[in-house]
Structure 1
Amino acid sequence: MKPWHPLPDQLPAEIAVFPLSGALLLPGGRLPLNIFEPRYLAMVLDSLAEGRMFGMIQGDPSRPRRADGGSAIFGVGCLGRLSSFAEMEDGRLLITLTGVARFQVMEELPMRRGYRRVRADYGPFLADLEPETLPVPRADILQAVRPFFAAKGLEVNHEAIEALSGHALVTTLAMVCPFTVAEKQALLEANTLPERASALLALLRMGALGGELPPDARPS
């Protein structure tokens, strides 16, 4: 599929958001999602009819939960565009969300059909819409990947990882590695690709020393 590069004025000011702690979407990344809760089925179907976009954002475990039981959310998320969609016989939706641009939450809006919505400001992150050309320490990252996954007891396709370009390597590893919620948020909020690559490299090297996997991602 040909990449979609929107202009700033094509980014929606009001968006649905899917709060999912432990799930990270970055610009240019592809996040597969299995949608089964009624409120998020409604969100996806509404998004299909309204530009095919909604935001991914993490719940913030450091802040009290809302009065309705929902989690507090971080102040920065990432807008995604539905790039694939399949409906299962049991009613589930299997979708892929491709990251477009990060956004800052300006205010939370009234819920619609049970799902949450926010007013988004993309101003601080308009560089996400431009092709990424800055260099990253690709060789260092590849060297750190094997001991990291070995320490976590995870099997991965290293040939596929080694075939990725610098930008895709950083984005893919930041999204798929079992980092904590706070670590994933720090990767999301890194100002530039080199800064994200530097943070990723530090996390890979620290993770190789051992440690527990974070809890499974849970929608909020």
Structure 2
Amino acid sequence: MTRHVDLPDTIPVFPLPGALLLPRARLPLHIFEPRYLTMLEDVLKTPARLIGMVQPCMVPGNGGNRLQQIGCAGRVTQFSETEDGRYMITLTGISRFRVRNEIEGFSPYRRCDVSWAGFEKDQGAEEHDPGLNRDGFMDLLSRFFQLRGLNADWGNLSDADDELMINSLSMMLDFAPEDKQALLEAPCLSTRRETLVTLIEYALRGGEHEETVQ
């Protein structure tokens, strides 16, 4: 379980298509743009050290300016500075949030008023998936990895706890941003696993990367 964090009403947000952070999981980030370097410096001065990961809405004519309604806030738990002034950081997922509105102002980075209501379990105990058929899931995953030409440490993966395995795969696998959003918004671990299985089965049927299947 991650440490309990007092959740503020306003947080800085980092819009990043395809990037997924989930509660109790860790996301490494490379910070180099000046506005996000400023954001990190400001965040490190706060008690909670929270950054909200949220995806832009990738819709025609939007230009990626609008944000998805739901994101996940992570606490900066590791950071190191390179010689040329960039940062390598790790965010540990604390809680999902719902965007109320974006704050207009002179900040070089984006900030939002957010609500944490409905996501109280995110700061609770690790989740388990009683409906998980691990052997069947691992067989499906093996076929998917073979399709994509991916390698895995199958021993560690098959021995991992339910939440670590399902959330790590949800974050790691290269699905479309809207699919990542669906994984984020899953109300519980079982639903996230069901969504993940649906996405993998869709890919195996040729729904994605058809050139690989052919």
Q: Which residue in 2 is equivalent to 1:137?
A: 132
TM-score by length of 2: 0.89
| Secondary structure class of the residue paired with 1:91 | coil
Contact in 1 for aligned 2:127/2:162 (Cα 8 Å): no
AA paired with 2:16? L
2:103 to 100, 104, 109: 109
Q: Structure 1 stretches (4+) deviating beyond 3 angstroms? A: none
1:178 aligns with 2:177: no
* Partner residue of 1:157 out of 147, 153, 157: 153
Select which of 45, 51, 71 maps to 2:41.
45
Name the aligned partner's letter for residue 191 of structure 2.
E
Q: Distance in 2 between matches of 1:128 and 1:138?
A: 24
Work out whether 1:4 is the aligned partner of 2:3: yes
In 2, Cα distance between the equivalents of 1:188 and 1:44? 23
1:18-33 equivalences under 5 Å are: 18-33=14-29
Per-residue CA deviations over 1:41-63 (Å, capped at 9, x if unaligned) read: 11111111112111000111126
Q: Does 1:204 align with 2:162?
A: no
* Paired residues of 2:27 and 2:91 also in contact (CA < 8 A): yes
TM-superposed CA distance for 1:70, in Å, is: 5.4
The answer to whether the Cα contact below 8 Å between 2:128 and 2:162 also exists between their aligned partners in 1 is no
What CA deviation, in whole Å up to 9, does each residue of 1:78-109 have, x standing for no partner?
A: 01000100000111100000100000000000
Q: Retained in 2: the 8 A contact 1:25–1:175? A: yes
68, 76, 82: which is aligned to 1:82?
76
SS, match of residue 169 in structure 2:
helix
2:2·2:123 contact (CA, 8 Å) conserved in 1?
A: no
Spell out, residue by residue over 1:148-198, the C-alpha distance to the aligned partner (whole angstroms, 9 max, x if none). Answer: 121112223323322310011111000000011110000111111111111
The CA RMSD over aligned residues, in Å, is: 1.8
Residue 122 (str. 1) matches residue 116 (str. 2)? yes
Change over 3 Å in CA distance of 1:5–1:86 after alignment to 2: same
Which residue pairs with 1:57 in the alignment?
54
Extract unaligned runs of 5+ from structure 1: 214-220
Does structure 2 conserve the Cα–Cα contact (< 8 Å) formed by 1:106 and 1:118?
yes
- Distance change in 2, residues 1:112/1:97 (3 Å): farther
- Listed as ranges, the gaps of 5+ residues in structure 2 are none
Aligned match of 2:87 in 93, 100, 103?
Answer: 93
Q: Percent identity?
A: 38
How many residue pairs get matched?
206
Q: Could you state the TM-score of these two structures normalised by the residue count of structure 1?
A: 0.87
